[in-house]
Structure 1
Amino acid sequence: MDMPRSFAIASAVLMLSACASGGHAIDARTAAWWATTAALSGDDMEGRDTGSPGYDRAAAYVAERFRRAGLRPAGDAGTYFQRIRFDEIEVANEGTSFSVQRATGDRRPLRFLHEISVTPTWGMPARIDAPLVFRGFCAPSDMTGVRGAVVACFGTRRTGQPLFAAQMEAATAAGAVAMVRVDDTGFTIEPPRWPLAYARNVVLADGSPRPRTIPSLRLAATTFAEIANASGHDGGDILARGARGEAMAPFDFPARFEASIVTRERSSTSDNVLAVLPGTDPALANEPVLLIAHLDGYGRGTPVNGDGLYNGALDDAAYVATLIAFAETRAGRGFRRPVIFAAVTAEEKGLLGSRWLAAHPTPAASTPVAVLNLDQLRPLYPLKILTTLALEDSTLGQTVRDVAGPMGITVRADLEPERGLLRRTDHWPFMRIGVPAVSFLFGFDAADADAAAAYRAWYENRYHAPQDDVSTPIDFQAQADFHRFYFALIEAVADADAKPSWAADSPHRPGANE
């Protein structure tokens, strides 16, 4: 059998890295971790999209690796799998079109998924034909004269300004037929990027009402500027004012927004992969610690530079691989508390796998007392700073400091709360039900130009793109250092006399008003 391309690339990267470090071999655990990452993000896994055959192959692979490492099944009916049912609606490329019809008679087509997209919802109209207006930040006080119109809003993500939900509420209340959010190019900590993989909405098929709203669209900033300029306004100045948080004068375009939207629906199933390392102290048997990482990716989508397969190597195959590496390191040797291993589905579709697990614990994977989440990690530069989400919310934060400090790792709270990372990854559903949790990012100081450049390059060129594959330049020593930290953290939490507790001033603690 020929070596898969992903393994070949991973091997080549390992050899090059060893040469670059003066010929020093990468340690065996890190090399095995990278080989597992390559296997999970290989082309044969097809990007592990929720509900796809490729995801099912990846889930079977993870379950087998858990079994071989001595973990016991913790899923449904004595298996490693927790089956979840989903409904989805997707906007089809074929037959879907967007354009701006100017008063002069010419039509400006808008390229779907490259400069405009729409979030599909059940009951969404198949056609839109309405005047186009701009209302700045789209606060309720801005929403005059928008009834029956498509309202364009500056897509701010900054605290203190109207965010998406508030803008949508204001647009709906004012009678707009659709809302278009214009990218904020000034939000450089996570810059907007195009194209998008697809326009898809996935929900749990649990009988809950399906979301129905006025259409919500997204428009590239450069496209908005072009349309505004053609209407006699300075699009660049408008965008610059919005990026600075300054008021933007409202205006009506001498144009109509037109759209034909073709949707298709389907139902699917996908599994969380659950395993458990039993505890050794019967008194702590009902206090499991949950290790979680998401197995799903984007699958196949809009090609970028000719590549339409979104392999998802660092997001998040690499950290499912970390769970496997830890299981193999333990080789069935337990801690005082049970440790649950969860490789969950549908994170990229709205944390659906972790939401299901939090609401439906299994007998062998009961509600945990702590969650140590792995996502958003990028070992692109040395591990000197570890940004820790929810650092001050529970005693877990001090445990993180106690473990990281002797290793020379500075622990830091999230310095970019506007990104909303706390709510964008799989520990959040557990925090919502009262479970203390932490999650991590490789941090850096602004003065560290190399780290800053590597971090920004990742978001601009690889994040949620086909280029997130094993060709990504990895700092393997940084990953080895993270493994050393994470494995020690698990031991500290799982063997502690007391379970983690919430900080009295945490806004996320049970009973707090958020």
Structure 2
Amino acid sequence: MEGRDTGSAGYDRAAKVVAAKFKAAGLTPLGEKGGWFQSVSMNETKVARAEVSIGGRPLKFLYDFTVSPAPAMPQRVEALLAYRGYCDAAALGNVTGKLVLCHGATRAGLPTAAQRDSAVKAAGGIGIITIADPGFTVEPPRWPFAYARDVSLASATRNTDSFLRLRLNADALATVIGGGHDAAKLIVKGSNGQPLPDFDPADAFRAGFTITTRALTSPNVIGFLPGTDPALADQAIVLSAHLDGYGYGTPVNGDRLYNGTLDDAAYVALLIRLAERRHGKGFRRPVIFAAWTGEEKGLLGSIAFLRAPTFPRSRIAANINLDQLRPIFPLDLLTIHALDDTSLGDDARAVAAVMGIAVQHDPEPERNLLRRSDQWNFIAAGIPATAFVFGYRPGSESERIYRQWYKSGYHKPQDDLDQRMDWKAAADFNRFFYTLVGRVADKDAPPSWKPGSALNPSNRP
């Protein structure tokens, strides 16, 4: 379906296919007006074209740099540059009217992205150029970018921030700073958290941006399997995966279709398969089957559902979300998000133990995966939720395969039907999922928060 980009004709066709599959499997519609769809209105801002040069040296849009689109961003820029290492607030100095180069290092003790942004603004900078860190090997920078778009819910307050935000390919740093400093050495030091100099490159930054905006709508697809126990009718379990992908974008090895097979079409298919296996036979609790739109654009579909739910939010007991799953090596270890925060973690641990699958907390919290898919919106709303990632042991062949996929498959056209797949691992996860859903939807007690959890609404500031 042409990669199912949010708001595209391919996405709409895919949504109709999912609705038809849900219907054939015996679900009932739970969208708006008695249908299968919940329409989500959005606004898109896109950098359709960008021309950037420093001292006459050009940079290639989406290959050497990308831009964070914003409605109020300037369309023409001419400014001096300031290189300020990690852009610690105490070391920035006065950078009024300048674009500031900052290493985007993800290391404890160094400024975060939000801290860099805030510090540069406070010091008078007109924008920030973040140097993507090739040393962040747990999730290396991906070049080229598919496109430069920002999509927000139509109900969101209009962004009036004119602060310019660019992301720079580390390979292009030499082009930006010119002579006088060794760009390769700066990159190595920046990736290792070593001390960096401060300097102002001699040449000016010049840019022209072509900005386009449009309104779009894209639907969530929502089906319902009624429960069999009237006493549990107010304890619905939401099973979800995101239907959207990237669609068409910048070609990689001549291919411009970002298929999104494992991210996340395969797991919308798993929701369909579970519905088919039930043949309309309910669990004790009601189960909501949701295929979200706009996940790749900011978790927008699940936000829209929780703000205007087609099933009363007070009657939703939990969410089990499917994303970030990569069945490309054996499943003997499973990362479980919010493992010790809710009873869902206990249920997942028990099911995994019977199957001989070890479980773990997220071993790479610096990637912030818990907040990067739709389970986070349920957690933020105070609803117990969980999600999963195939785990690996350090130094193993599974780790090698996983790392390579993030270099060559993640958010790239190569996430397609011809990629490496471990079909036994995929089947093992499917069995884990079926069993977990049955356990959660049929047990006497509803999912609940652990008293000591920092995510527990009762313990939040």
Q: TM-score range by the shorter chain?
A: over 0.9
Aligned CA distance change for structure 1 residues 299 and 211 (closer, same or farther; 3 Å): farther
User: Quick check: 1:75–1:365 contact (8 Å CA) kept in 2?
Assistant: no
Note the alpha carbon deviations across 1:63-104, whole angstroms, 9 max, x for none.
0000000011011011110001010110013xx201111xxx
Give matches, 1:107-122, under 5 Å. 107-122=56-71
**Comparing 127-136 with 60-69, which one deviates more in the overlay?**
127-136
Contact between 2:224 and 2:288, CA under 8 Å: does it hold in 1? yes
| Matching residue of 2:305 | 357
Q: Which amino acid aligns with 2:153?
A: L
Check if 1:170 corresponds to 2:170: no
Deviation at 1:359, TM superposition (A): 1.6
Q: How many angstroms apart in 2 are the aligned matches of 1:321 and 1:365? A: 25
Alignment check: 8 A CA contact 2:349 2:359 kept? yes
Q: Which runs of 5+ in 1 are unaligned?
A: 1-44, 102-106
Alpha-carbon shift at residue 364 of structure 1 (Å) = 7.1
1:399-418 CA distance string (max 9 Å, x none): 11111001000011100000
The equivalent of 1:68 in structure 2 is: 24
Q: Is the 8 A contact 1:151 1:178 kept in 2?
A: yes
Number of aligned residue pairs: give it.
461
Structure-to-structure mapping, 1:117-266, within 5 angstroms:
117-210=66-159, 212-228=161-177, 230-266=178-214
| 1:241-280 superposed Cα distances (whole Å, 9 cap, x missing partner) | 2222222121111111111011001001000000011101
* Deviations 1:440-494 (CA, angstroms, capped at 9, x unpaired): 011011132x212211111111110111100111100101000110110001111
* Contact 2:306–2:313 (Cα < 8 Å) also in 1: no
Give 1:213 shift: 4.3
> Given the alignment, which residue of 259, 279, 286 partners 1:331?
279
Deviation at 1:377, TM superposition (A): 0.3
- Give the equivalent residue in structure 2 for 1:416: 364
Q: What letter corresponds to residue 239 of structure 2 in structure 1?
A: L
User: 1:136, 1:142 within 8 Å by CA — same for their partners in 2?
Assistant: no
TM-superposed deviation, 1:237? 2.1
Q: Give the drift of 1:240.
A: 1.7
Shift of 1:211: 5.5
- Deviations, residues 23-56 of structure 1 (Å, cap 9, x unaligned): xxxxxxxxxxxxxxxxxxxxxx111000111000
For 2:2, the equivalent position in structure 1 comes to 46
SS at match of 2:2: helix
Q: Equivalent residue for 2:390?
A: 442
Q: Aligned letter for 2:53?
A: S
Structure 1 CA distance for aligned equivalents of residues 31 and 108 of structure 2 = 40
Name the amino acid aligned to 1:478.
A
TM-fit CA distance, 1:504: 2.1
Q: Residue 8 of structure 1 corresponds to which residue in structure 2?
A: none
Which residue of 1 is the match for residue 293 of structure 2?
345
User: Structure 1 residues 207, 397: CA separation in 2 closer, same or farther (over 3 Å shift)?
Assistant: closer
Q: Gaps spanning 5+ residues in structure 2: where?
A: none
The answer as to whether partners of 1:308 and 1:466 remain within 8 angstroms in 2 is: yes
2:42–2:151 contact (8 Å) kept in structure 1: yes
The alignment-based identity, stated in percent, is: 49
Aligned partners of 2:383, 2:2: CA distance in 1, in Å? 34
Contact kept? 2:94, 2:124, Cα under 8 Å = no
Q: Name the CA distance, whole Å, in 2 between partners of 1:407 and 1:225.
A: 52
Separation of aligned partners in 2, 1:505 and 1:364: 27
- The AA in structure 2 aligned to 1:128 is V
CA contact (8 A) 2:72 2:159 kept: no
2:432 is aligned with 1:476? no
The CA deviation at 1:227 is 3.7
SS at 1:193 equivalent: coil
Q: Is the CA contact 2:41–2:154 (under 8 Å) kept in the aligned structure 1?
A: yes
Alignment match, 1:13: none
Is 1:99–2:46 an aligned residue pair?
Answer: no
- Asked if the contact 1:74–1:364 (Cα under 8 Å) also holds between the matched residues in 2, the reply is no
Does 2:33 align with 1:77? yes
Q: Deviations over 1:99-137 (max 9, x none)?
A: 111xxxxx1100000010100101111111111111111
Q: Secondary structure at the match of 2:296?
A: coil
Mapped pair 1:370 → 2:318: yes
Q: Is the Cα contact below 8 Å between 1:203 and 1:210 reproduced in 2?
A: no
Picking from 430, 436, 440, the partner of 1:493 is 440
Which residue type is aligned with residue 134 of structure 1? Answer: Y
Q: What do residues 412-442 of structure 1 show as CA deviations (whole Å, max 9, x unaligned)?
A: 1100000010110010011001011111011
TM-score (norm 1): 0.88
Q: Secondary structure at the match of 1:363?
A: coil
Shift of 1:170: 1.1
The match for 1:27 is none
Do the aligned residues in 2 keep the contact of 1:378 with 1:441 (CA within 8 Å)? yes
Cα gap change, 1:80 to 1:365, in 2 (>3 Å): farther
Aligned residue in 2 for 1:465: 412
Measure the CA separation in 1 of the matches of 2:210 and 2:315: 41
CA distance in 2, matches of 1:372, 1:237: 45
